[in-house]
Structure 1
Amino acid sequence: MKVRAVLASMSLLAASALAACAPPSDDNGSGGGDDNGSGSAADAASATSAEDLGGLDALIEAAQEEGELNVIALPPDWANYGEIISTFEEKYDITVNSAQPDAASQDEINAANQLKGTDRAPDVFDLGQAVALANIPMYAPYKVETWDDIPDEFKAEDGAWVNDYGGFMSIGYDSSKVPDVTEVEDLLGPDFKGKVALNGDPTQAGAAFNGVVMASVANGGSVEDIEPGVQFFSDLKEAGNFLPVDPTPATIESGQTPVVIDWDYLNAAQAEKIDTWEVVVPANAPIAGYYFQAINADAPHPAAARLWQEFLYSDEGQNLWLKGGARPVRAEAMADAGTIDEELYSALPEVEGDPIVVTNEQTEAMASYLADNWAKAIG
């Protein structure tokens, strides 16, 4: 695999804060409560920590009584979610029902609303920033046992949401089908007609949203002025280069989407399969971002949902995300403790330039602009 882009370590991503939008918690510790919880699934729905149920063993017992966990929008090739799911199933003897693996963040929220009150509703969410921040009332606050390892800027104070893993926006391309790419502007060239795909709709999907941010910064805009990014995609469509197809591993491997704007860890995964697949993070637009993890307040399997969070934020779960090329949110603390996979961690190269992380306030403003202008630009 030849990855031209250089990527940032966890410490660089932490340089730009994500302000917590949720109201403050009544406690200052790990969200614990009494140690005399029964550990039942019924009690789990209101538990804000494993301690509320009597500890992690009691939570495991309650989750195994439920026996199932519903997840949504988690493709197996996305940040190693395939192995994460199978490891969780084997470790706890809990069946994971994975629905709509190629769905967008907004689809997760839509499904939760449509299936509310049924046993098919999603138990947990893995959301892009814009969608996550727009739906905070839907989340059940919960603080995992490793809560203190997570930097304050990457979590809501009350535990309503927590950043889980991150990466950089990138351009992946098949060098046997198009010329080398070094910057976003290259994609407007005549050799890219009908070849450039964006991963999703930026009004609904985090990857696509940040792809527009990358195009904006690369074209003289900023994270506070996304108009140049929208104009770039309008120009891309006018040139006949924009391909209105949601890229997947299947479309990439078949050659249907030879150029893909997506997170670096997703594009890098394709380089493992296609010898001619290259990945570049534009040096003038190093857009870094995290996804948001949350529990559905109406989760049909509340204990399993909370155990899933404990697993994801454990050393084991964090290293599994790292294995998928993503940067786990506890990476720095794990490196200090000697619990991170050193080989995988040291293989993450550094990025050219200072990472640009979009704040919550900037995200909300840009989401509003996109809602009003994206369809007009590429429709």
Structure 2
Amino acid sequence: MTTPRHLGAFAATAASVLTLGLASCAPPERKAEDGGASEATSAADFGGMEKLIEAAQAEGELNVIALPPDWANYGAIIKAFSDKYGIKVNSAQPEASSQEEINAAIQQKGKSTAPDVFDLGQAVALANTSMFAPYKVTHFDQIQPGMKDPDGRWVNDYGGFMSIGYDSAVLPEITAIDDLLDPEFKGKVALNGDPTQAGAAFSGVLMVALSQGGSADDIAPGVEFFGKLKEIGNFLPVDPTPATIESGQTPVVIDWNYLNGAVSEKKPTWRIFVPNDAAVAGYYHQAINADAPHPAAARLWQEFLFSDEGQNLFAASGVRPVRADAMIFATTFDPKAFDRLPAIDGPVTVPTKEQTDVAAKYLAENWAKAIG
């Protein structure tokens, strides 16, 4: 679904398109008993934030997964949370995909090393809601309908735009996606992940599809384009990381604008191109593992992420925090951080759940054949 708007209306637009098909019945009211942190659906169930903090500090640890330090400012966010509450944060598999987060939770169920919380792309999150614990953060009412499950099983936390990052020191300026077909890009174009598993890669294929006449309802042109890149030798089947970018192994990276933005801070020649005629936006989904080994710390982590402090830390990396509009209205935003948010001229595509499901099925059946 495409909607003309600037970034200032991002939250409202995403809310309107994500609302489709996501309603569910609220569970009966539950009150956590002493030691019943896994049943708590709000801080009130602990007796307030102070009691939640005490319970989380008694657990002493939090297990996170798939949170690279350069991704959405998670390095600074983890440090700020740990410093503020004195809780040790164990960060596992920082380069894991959304599906690998779910796989880890299933494989480690019942173990102290299982993930406490998830940060997931839309397709994987909505396919696994039975694994999430309902929890409403203090600012839950400031998050628009459609940006959250009504019971708090998942909540959008931050979003951005798909982009192409490239090293201008060795490559010509990119002004259109078709530029990637030029001989100068032979063996240089990398996609962040496998689009059948990773949200960033999925959105990258969708962006390319739009540029080739496709739509959120028809991702095939994007798959065909990558097949062409593979055929002429321009596609680089390497999962990019800060190390591969720094070394020059992946001089072109299709990824979220805030991740390419993090590269540009360290690599002055790194440029970012967001196609106004094929802009794709997406929010990531935050959720608590229903079998979290540290259930109180998991809930405190959610409270921190959606607090003004946590949301401003997201914005400092160039991502749009889900509470941005409410914080601007309440003047609780950090102007310096919010100045980093990009503006887009033209239509922006945010796929609905139904469109994502159809596209995911097509990718599962055709992606490997196209780039194999």
Work out whether the TM-score is over 0.5.
Answer: yes
Provide the secondary structure at the position in 2 that maps to 1:272.
helix
Q: Aligned partner of 1:148: which letter?
A: D
Tell whether the 8 Å contact from 1:22 to 1:158 is kept in structure 2 after alignment: no
Corresponding residue to 1:287 among 257, 280, 288: 280
Change (3 A) 1:305 1:268: same
1:12 is matched with 10
Following the alignment from structure 2 to structure 1, what is the Cα–Cα distance between the partners of residues 324 and 348?
A: 17
Tell whether the 8 Å contact from 1:318 to 1:330 is kept in structure 2 after alignment: yes
Q: Aligned partner of 1:151: which letter?
A: Q
Following the alignment from structure 2 to structure 1, what is the Cα–Cα distance between the partners of residues 335 and 325?
A: 11
Corresponding residue to 1:354 among 338, 341, 347: 347
2:263 is matched with 270
2:95 is matched with 102
Aligned pair 1:134/2:135, yes or no?
Answer: no
Following the alignment from structure 1 to structure 2, what is the Cα–Cα distance between the partners of residues 22 and 114?
A: 29
Tell whether the 8 Å contact from 2:160 to 2:319 is kept in structure 1 after alignment: yes
Corresponding residue to 1:233 among 219, 226, 232: 226
Please state how far the C-alpha of 1:12 moved relative to its aligned partner: 2.8
Following the alignment from structure 2 to structure 1, what is the Cα–Cα distance between the partners of residues 247 and 25?
A: 49
Tell whether the 8 Å contact from 1:13 to 1:355 is kept in structure 2 after alignment: no
Tell whether the 8 Å contact from 1:22 to 1:136 is kept in structure 2 after alignment: no
Please state how far the C-alpha of 1:128 moved relative to its aligned partner: 0.6
Question: What is the aligned residue count?
Answer: 365
Following the alignment from structure 1 to structure 2, what is the Cα–Cα distance between the partners of residues 15 and 260?
A: 27
1:78 is matched with 71
Q: Aligned partner of 1:43: which letter?
A: G
Residues 286-311 of structure 1: CA distance to partner in whole angstroms, max 9, x if unpaired? Answer: 10000000000110000000000000
1:3 is matched with none
1:297 is matched with 290
Tell whether the 8 Å contact from 1:22 to 1:160 is kept in structure 2 after alignment: no
Tell whether the 8 Å contact from 2:11 to 2:325 is kept in structure 1 after alignment: no
Provide the secondary structure at the position in 1 that maps to 2:221.
helix
Residues 186-215 of structure 1: CA distance to partner in whole angstroms, max 9, x if unpaired? Answer: 101111000000000001100000000001
Q: Aligned partner of 2:332: which letter?
A: T
Aligned pair 1:69/2:62, yes or no?
Answer: yes
Aligned pair 1:171/2:172, yes or no?
Answer: no
Q: Aligned partner of 2:348: which letter?
A: P
Please state how far the C-alpha of 1:21 moved relative to its aligned partner: 2.4
Please state how far the C-alpha of 1:33 moved relative to its aligned partner: 5.8
Provide the secondary structure at the position in 1 that maps to 2:166.
strand
1:250 is matched with 243
Alignment of 1:368-379 (within 5 A): 368-379=361-372
Aligned pair 1:111/2:104, yes or no?
Answer: yes
Corresponding residue to 2:114 among 106, 116, 121: 121
Following the alignment from structure 2 to structure 1, what is the Cα–Cα distance between the partners of residues 181 and 25?
A: 47
1:23 is matched with 24
Following the alignment from structure 1 to structure 2, what is the Cα–Cα distance between the partners of residues 252 and 22?
A: 41
Following the alignment from structure 1 to structure 2, what is the Cα–Cα distance between the partners of residues 136 and 22?
A: 12
Q: Aligned partner of 2:224: which letter?
A: Q
Instruction: Return the TM-score normalized by structure 1.
Output: 0.94
Aligned pair 1:219/2:212, yes or no?
Answer: yes
2:51 is matched with 58
Residues 86-110 of structure 1: CA distance to partner in whole angstroms, max 9, x if unpaired? Answer: 1100111100000000111111000
Q: Taking every aligned residue pair, what percent have the same amino acid on both sides? A: 64
Change (3 A) 1:347 1:200: closer
Change (3 A) 1:317 1:266: same
Please state how far the C-alpha of 1:10 moved relative to its aligned partner: 4.5
Provide the secondary structure at the position in 2 that maps to 1:14.
helix
Q: Aligned partner of 1:11: which letter?
A: A
Following the alignment from structure 2 to structure 1, what is the Cα–Cα distance between the partners of residues 293 and 55?
A: 13
Please state how far the C-alpha of 1:13 moved relative to its aligned partner: 4.2
Q: Aligned partner of 1:359: which letter?
A: T
Following the alignment from structure 1 to structure 2, what is the Cα–Cα distance between the partners of residues 195 and 143?
A: 44
Structure 1: gaps of 5 or more residues: 1-6
Corresponding residue to 2:195 among 202, 214, 222: 202
Following the alignment from structure 2 to structure 1, what is the Cα–Cα distance between the partners of residues 255 and 339?
A: 23
Please state how far the C-alpha of 1:15 moved relative to its aligned partner: 1.4
Residues 311-370 of structure 1: CA distance to partner in whole angstroms, max 9, x if unpaired? Answer: 000000000000111100000000000000122213434202022111111111111111
Instruction: Return the TM-score normalized by structure 2.
Output: 0.95
Q: Aligned partner of 1:335: which letter?
A: I
Q: Aligned partner of 1:18: which letter?
A: L
Provide the secondary structure at the position in 2 that maps to 1:279.
strand
Please state how far the C-alpha of 1:276 moved relative to its aligned partner: 1.0
1:324 is matched with 317
Please state how far the C-alpha of 1:54 moved relative to its aligned partner: 1.0
Provide the secondary structure at the position in 1 that maps to 2:165.
strand
